[in-house]
Amino acid sequence: MKNIKMLVLLNIFSCMVIGAQVNYGDFFTDERMRVDLIFAGNHETTKVYLEKIKAEPQWGGTRTNLLDPLELGDFQYKIFDEATGKMIFRRGFSTLFEEWQTTTEAQVSQKYLTQSIVFPYPRYKVILELYKRNDLNLFEKCFEMGINPADLYIERGMKYNFETRKIQDNGDPANCVDLVFVAEGYTENQLDSFYSNVKWLSECILSMEPFNQYRNKFNIWTVASVSQDSGTDFPGEGVWKNTIMNSNFYTFGLDRYLTTYDFRTVCDVAAPVPYDQIIVLINIDRYGGGGMYNHYCGGSNGGHTPEEVLIHEFGHGFAGLGDEYYASEVAYNEYFKLTIEPWEPNLTTLVNFESKWNDMLDPGTPVPTPPDEKYLDKTGIFEGGGYVSKGVYRPAFDCRMKSNDAEGFCAVCRRAISRTILYYIE
């Protein structure tokens, strides 16, 4: 019965996506536009500045579902045709910047981080509007600018000339999910290892529910971005390496949090290929990773269960899933407000639970759902999630978004992932 219910919901979602669409060819070319921004501020202020605009070879995303209906992410950008005022593109995303804003450091200092957003290259002048969620979790405009696609200062040409390969080809990027793995901390003589790692890890992702149901709709790309040194930085241990994307452990002081602040270089490396999601594969034999929705996700190729870590981070980056654990050390302070329903599809504060997985509960499921034996394999409302033990609830006793010991994603996370895949392929 639940499988039938999920299919009905996915069909409804599909109709919703198809219902209000933009004719791609009327407004866009085959190229991709990238807008490099600077996000600056502290724990309570966000200022956005333009750095530059780039033209890149090929838009790899959907050409039919240009107005993203998912409403996920801490930020959202909209593109309007200047002449008609028509919205012609919309997408949500998250960044490291808003995570940093919740740290103790942000309360006593100012900082900036780079951010890049991409969309199909416009044929005509457009207006870019950027929105950030406010204290009520509603999108509020924080930046606006006009863009002339014929502007002579829009940069063209690739910064790097690394080898690219399409190691899994299932067709036109417009109708597939295109994943690009970029190499970080791999030297020239370690590239064979990079290709082996990508084949293994991409197979791990595509073998798991619900990705395995759509494996013939995924393209896998690689960019063999060479680093001078092998490995990554460990600032907390005084270890520094010269790598192409400047990755590091100890993000926000957390030893296992493995990211890069240098998103601009990540995008420069990935620029030659069409992509929907960027995966930064880091050549280090140590547990760690990180991922932000429609930003990038990354992880190590070694250490403890690197495949489970990467799949977890891919859940963040691809489908906007939230962390369901609550007992581990984190760098955030009050990341979720208990008076607001979180936007993550697998977390709730019960403020607006009807918008989450209420339809997937069996009749009579108690709220909250106790961790009793009879509920351990059921969809419920289990207290603890989003880094806190009280006030935030998750849909399953265990899930890949909670622990690496889980067999896979819970039913609620699987539905969210399937919705995202349909957004790209239909």
Which residues make Cβ contacts (< 8 Å) with residue 165, sequence separation at least 6?
195, 221, 222, 224
82 lies in the same domain as 124:
yes
Under DSSP, the state recorded for 63 is S
Give per-residue pLDDT as tens, 189-214: 999 999 999 999 999 999 999 999 99
Q: Tell whether the model's pLDDT for residue 334 goes beyond 70.
A: no
Instruction: Measure the CA–CA gap between 32 and 63, rounded to whole angstroms.
Output: 12
According to the model, what pLDDT value does residue 297 have? Answer: 96
According to the model, what pLDDT value does residue 332 have? Answer: 56
Under DSSP, the state recorded for 425 is H
Task: For residue 56, give the CATH number of its domain.
Answer: 2.60.40.3250
Q: Tell whether the model's pLDDT for residue 5 goes beyond 90.
A: no
Q: Which of 283, 183, 192 is nearest to 226 (CA)?
A: 183
Q: Which of 117, 125, 118, 115 is nearest to 46 (CA)?
A: 115
Instruction: Measure the CA–CA gap between 216 and 170, rounded to whole angstroms.
Output: 6
198 lies in the same domain as 304:
yes
402 phi, psi to nearest 5 deg = -105, -45
Beta bridge partners of 168: 220
According to the model, what pLDDT value does residue 28 have? Answer: 98
Quickly state the pLDDT bin for 21 (edges 50, 70, 90): confident
Residue 225 lies inside a defined structural domain of this protein: yes
Q: How many domains does the chain have?
A: 2
User: Which stretches of 249-343 are DSSP H helices?
Assistant: 263-270, 306-319
Q: Which two tokens stand for residue 59?
A: 């838009």
142 lies in the same domain as 204:
no
Q: Tell whether the model's pLDDT for residue 330 goes beyond 80.
A: no
Which residues make Cβ contacts (< 8 Å) with residue 57, sequence separation at least 6?
31, 32, 271, 272, 274
Q: Tell whether the model's pLDDT for residue 14 goes beyond 70.
A: no
Dihedral sign for Cα atoms in the order 261, 265, 269, 273: positive
Residue 340 lies inside a defined structural domain of this protein: no
Give Cα separations from 219 to 81, 174, 177 (angstroms). Answer: 31, 11, 6
53 neighbors 33 (Cβ within 8 angstroms):
yes
Residue 140 lies inside a defined structural domain of this protein: yes
278 neighbors 263 (Cβ within 8 angstroms):
no
Q: Cα 77–83–86 angle (5° rounding)?
A: 45
Give per-residue pLDDT as tens, 73-82: 999 999 999 9
What is the signed CA dihedral for 392, 395, 400, 401, rounded to 10 degrees?
-30
**Beta strands per DSSP E along 8-63:** 28-41, 46-56
Give per-residue pLDDT as tens, 85-113: 999 999 999 999 999 999 999 999 999 99
Residue 387 lies inside a defined structural domain of this protein: no
124 lies in the same domain as 183:
no
Percentage of the chain modeled with pLDDT above 70: 94
218 lies in the same domain as 274:
yes
Residue 135 lies inside a defined structural domain of this protein: yes
Under DSSP, the state recorded for 386 is T
Q: Tell whether the model's pLDDT for residue 66 goes beyond 90.
A: yes
Residue 380 lies inside a defined structural domain of this protein: no
Q: Tell whether the model's pLDDT for residue 52 goes beyond 50.
A: yes
According to the model, what pLDDT value does residue 327 have? Answer: 80
Question: Hey, is 121 helix, strand or coil?
Answer: strand
Quickly state the pLDDT bin for 178 (edges 50, 70, 90): very high
Beta bridge partners of 38: 49, 114
According to the model, what pLDDT value does residue 328 have? Answer: 64
What is the number of other CB atoms lying within 10 angstroms of the CB of residue 70? 21
98 lies in the same domain as 216:
no
Give per-residue pLDDT as tens, 335-357: 788 999 999 999 999 999 999 99
Question: Hey, is 421 helix, strand or coil?
Answer: helix
Q: Which two tokens stand for residue 365?
A: 């499921």
Instruction: Measure the CA–CA gap between 232 and 390, rounded to whole angstroms.
Output: 36
169 lies in the same domain as 211:
yes
Instruction: Measure the CA–CA gap between 70 and 170, rounded to whole angstroms.
Output: 25
Residue that is last in its domain, among 264, 291, 320: 320
232 lies in the same domain as 134:
no
207 lies in the same domain as 143:
no
Which residues make Cβ contacts (< 8 Å) with residue 262, sequence separation at least 6?
114, 245, 246
74 neighbors 98 (Cβ within 8 angstroms):
yes
Q: Which two tokens stand for residue 268?
A: 């420069």
Task: For residue 228, give the CATH number of its domain.
Answer: 3.40.390.10
Residue that is last in its domain, among 320, 338, 372: 320
262 lies in the same domain as 228:
yes
Q: Tell whether the model's pLDDT for residue 17 goes beyond 80.
A: no
Match 């394999």 to its residue by tokens: 377
26 lies in the same domain as 141:
yes
Q: Tell whether the model's pLDDT for residue 408 goes beyond 90.
A: yes
Q: What is the mean pLDDT of residues 364-378?
A: 94
According to the model, what pLDDT value does residue 331 have? Answer: 54
According to the model, what pLDDT value does residue 20 have? Answer: 61
Q: Tell whether the model's pLDDT for residue 240 goes beyond 70.
A: yes
188 lies in the same domain as 274:
yes
Residue that is last in its domain, among 269, 295, 320: 320
Instruction: Measure the CA–CA gap between 108 and 60, rounded to whole angstroms.
Output: 41
Expressed as residue numbers, the domain containing 306 is: 164-320
Q: How many CA atoms lie within 13 A of 113 on its CB side?
A: 19
Q: Tell whether the model's pLDDT for residue 19 goes beyond 80.
A: no
Q: What is the mean pLDDT of residues 135-162?
A: 97
What is the number of other CB atoms lying within 10 angstroms of the CB of residue 71? 13
